[in-house]
Structure 1
Amino acid sequence: MNIQEKLTAALSAVKEKSPLVHHLTNYVTVNDCANITIAIGASPVMADELSEVEEMVSIASALVLNIGTLNSRTIESMLAAGKKAKSLGIPIILDPVGVGATTLRTKTAQRIIEEVQPTVIRGNMSEIKVLAGLDVKTKGVDSVASEENAEIITKKLATEWNCIIAITGKTDIVSNGKQVCRIDNGHRMLSDVSGTGCMSTSLIGSYCGANQDYLTATVAGIASMGLAGELAQQSLTPDEGIGTFKIHLLDKIYNLTPESLAKGCKVTCE
C-alpha cells in the first residue's frame, strides 16, 4: 500500500475500534485533548491518580504522557502508568512539552525515556534538540530552534531510542530510524491556539491505539491535525478569529473521513 492507502486504513481502524486512550496530560489543555480524541472517533480517559493509573492503563489501547504542567505527584503517576503500559505492550506516546526550559522538565523527560521507553516521542524542534543533547535556547513551551537538519536528527534519535520520533513545525518530520516521512499540511493559525500540539499528540495516541503500524499512526495523527487546520481556516469569514477557528478545528476532525484524509494529506515517505 502507498501512504495514502495506509492513512485511509488507519483512520478506518480508529472509527471501527474506538480505542480507549489513557491520558496523563496537562491541565491547560486537558479538555481540548479529550474533545479531539472523541472527535477523531476514539475514547479518552484522563486519570492521573497514582493509586489507579496502573489499573486504568491496563484496560486502555494507548497511553499519552504530556509533561506540560509537571508536579511531583504526576511525575510518579506517569512513570507508574508508563512502566505498566510497557509491560503489557501498550503503545506510549510522550509529549515533552517545554523540555529544556527548566531542569525539572529536562530530567523528567529523560527519566521517562530511560525508564519507560516510549513508542512515540512528538515535540517541536527545540524540544527534540534538547532531548538529543544539542545546545539550543527555548522560549517557554515554544520552539525557537532552526529546523535545519530535522530529518537527520529525527532518524538518528529514532534509531538510538528504537522508537518513532516526530518533529512538528513548518514541515513535520517523522521517522522510525529507517523510513522518513514529511508532512506539509497545516496553517499558521494552529500556532495561535494554545494546545494544538497537545491535541496532535492525542490524535497520535488515538491512531496508535487502533493500529500496530506506529509510523503510519504517527503520520496520520499529525496529518489529520494539519489538514483540519487548513480546512478550519478556509471556513472562516473575515470577521472571525482564533476562537471560531478552534471550534471549526474540532468540527473538521469530527467530519474527517478516510477518503478526505487520503485526498487532502500532503505526505511523502522514503
Structure 2
Amino acid sequence: MSLYKIRQKNPLIHCITNTVVTNFTANGLLAIGASPVMSDEPLDVEDMTSISDALLINIGTLNKNSVEAMFLAGKKANELNIPVVLDPVGAGATKYRKEVSENLLREIKFDLIRCNAGELAAIAGIDWQAKGVDSGEGEMDIVLVAKDTAKKFGTMVAVSGKEDVVTDGEWILFVRGGHEWMTQVTGTGCLLSAICAGALCLEGDRLENIRNVLADYKKVAEFASKEKYLGSFQVEIINGLHQISRGEL
C-alpha cells in the first residue's frame, strides 16, 4: 500500500498546477499525510523546490508566469536530484500547449509522465481527436506508444484509463478497477499526478510504487462510488484517501 507508505514519509510536494484543481489537490495530499505547497511565482519557485521532496508540473491552466516558473522549478529539481512529475493536461488541445509540453520534455528530465491516452498521443505525435482537456478518441497501441515514449524521454509513463498502463520502457504493468465517475469530477487525474510525485519519494522499486499508487487510487474510486450522488463522490475520494493511507480501507 503505497499511500500508507507516503503517510509515513510525510513528503513536501511542490505543485505547480492549474487553478481549477489547486484546493482539491492540496486537500488530497493532506488526506494521505503529505504536505502540499502551491507556488507558481517565478521569483519563489526555485527556493520552494529546493526544500521540497518532489515537484509536480501540471500545464492545465497555462500563463506566461506559470510557464516560466515551470522551467525554473524543473531545472532546479534536476540540479538537486529531486523527482519531477509532468501532467501534460490537454497537451494536444492547442498549439501552445503542445509547444510547452515539447519544450518541457526537451529541457527538463522527468521521472514520470502521468497522462491520459489523448495526452500520450499528443506527446508521441499521433493523430488523435482530443476534446479540450478530456482524453478524446483515436486509435493507437497505448502499450507500445507508452513504452516508446518512456524510452525516448528516459522516464516512466503512467496512462490512466479503464485499465491503467505504467511502464519504464522495458517492464509494463497494468492496473484494473476504478469507477467511471472519476472522469466526471474535475481534478481527479491532477490529484493522482500529485500523489504519484509523493510515491517517487519512497524507497524501493519506483515502477512498483507507482503501480501500487494507481491500484490504491482505483480502490478509492470504488469506495467513493458507493455514494448515490456525483457531488458527494468528490468528498468521498478525500475520505477514501484518508482511510486507505491509514490502513483502514
Is TM-score (shorter-chain normalized) higher than 0.5? yes
Contact 2:158 2:165 in 1 (8 A): yes
Q: Once the two structures are superposed, what CA deviation does each residue of 1:156-183 show, in whole Å capped at 9, x if it has no partner?
A: 1111111001111111100001110101
2:151 alignment partner in structure 1: 159
Q: Which runs of 5+ in 2 are unaligned?
A: none
Residue of structure 2 in register with 1:219 after alignment: 211
Q: TM-score, normalised by structure 1?
A: 0.88
Aligned residues: 249
Shift in Å, 1:260: 6.4
Choose which of 160, 168, 180 in structure 1 pairs with 2:172: 180
1:266 — aligned with what?
none
Cα separation, 2, equivalents of 1:212 and 1:54: 28
Aligned 1:89-238 pairs, distance under 5 A: 89-146=81-138, 148-211=140-203, 213-234=205-226, 236=227
- The Cα RMSD (Å) is 1.6
CA 1:26–1:212: 2 relative to 1, 3 Å:
farther
Ranges in structure 1 where 5+ consecutive residues have no aligned partner: 1-7, 262-270
| 1:83-102 superposed Cα distances (whole Å, 9 cap, x missing partner) | 00011111100000001111
2:47 matched to 1:59? no
TM-score, normalization by structure 2: 0.95
Go from structure 1 to structure 2 and tell me whether the alpha carbon gap of 1:50 and 1:257 turns closer, same or farther (over 3 Å shift). Answer: closer
Contact 2:128–2:138 (Cα < 8 Å) also in 1: no
Find the counterpart in structure 1 of residue 239 from structure 2. 251
CA distance in 2 between counterparts of 1:251 and 1:132 reads 36
Relative distance call for 1:147 and 1:59 in structure 2 (3 A) is: farther
Q: What CA deviation, in whole Å up to 9, does each residue of 1:98-117 have, x standing for no partner?
A: 01111110000111111012
- 1:140 alignment partner AA: G
Partners of 2:206 and 2:76 lie apart in 1 by 19
CA apart distance, 1:216: 2.3
From 75, 83, 87, the equivalent of 2:79 is 87
User: Partner letter of residue 79 of structure 1?
Assistant: F
Task: Map Cα deviations across residues 106-149 of structure 1 (whole Å, 9 max, x no partner).
Answer: 00011111101211001110110110011112100011234651
Between the aligned residues of both structures, percent identity stands at 36
2: CA distance between counterparts of 1:174 and 1:29? Answer: 24
1:207–1:220: 8 Å Cα contact kept in structure 2? Answer: no
Please give the secondary structure, in 2, of the residue aligned with 1:54. Answer: helix
2-structure distance, mates of 1:189, 1:12: 24
- Match of 2:244, SS state, is coil
